Amino acid sequence: MEQPAAAASLALKLIELAPVLTGLDQAEATKLMKFGRKATWKQDERVFYQGADADEMFILLGGKLIVWLDAMGIDKPIATLKPGNNFGEMAILAGGKRGANVSAVVPSFGISVNTAMLKNFPNIGLVIYKNIARVALERQNMVNAKAAETPKDETKSE
């Protein structure tokens, strides 16, 4: 049975939009769209809370989200998400609790992928896990590079 052309086209656009899906083929992306949970958020709606239990990640398909920490009662923004970004992936890797808050800046929508889905579709899971690891390594390299920068006034010896 052939897939409808619209679904196939949408699956290809999803792969192009989201780097975490790089390496999936059209059939796998279509399966992800079919079995992933569709999610919508209103402006200012909380996607999830820092410290909440978690076993799913999200791919933002439209809109804009902000990632922020509650640091001793002060909201500290740490990232802005745009379509194609994935978030909440640490819940997929390690399980446990959410490390940050995420809220919608404007009406937004996406798709969620939970650990059960990745176990049920191991080829999709392998690709997503590999891409999550690649993105996490890129982020860590950026943090390391920033930490290695020495402010000019600290390089002077007394």
Residue 82 lies in a domain: yes
Question: Do residues 33 and 111 touch, judged by C-beta distance below 8 A?
Answer: yes
Residue 154 lies in a domain: no
Residue 90 lies in a domain: yes
Q: Strands, E, within 4-151: which ranges? A: 37-41, 46-48, 56-62, 65-71, 74-81, 86-87, 101-104, 108-114
Residue 107 lies in a domain: yes
Residue 109 lies in a domain: yes
Domain enclosing residue 82, as ranges: 5-147
Residue 130 lies in a domain: yes
Distance of CA 12 to the CA centre of its chain: 18
pLDDT band at 150 (very low <50, low <70, confident <90, very high): low
Residue 67 lies in a domain: yes
- Measure the CA–CA gap between 70 and 122, rounded to whole angstroms: 35
Domain count, the chain: 1
User: Residue 46 corresponds to which tokens in the numbers above?
Assistant: 């909380």
Residue 153 lies in a domain: no
CATH code for the domain of 127: 2.60.120.10
pTM score, whole prediction: 0.81
What digits encode the pLDDT tens for the residues 51-108? 899 989 999 999 999 999 988 888 889 899 999 999 998 877 877 889 899 999 999 9
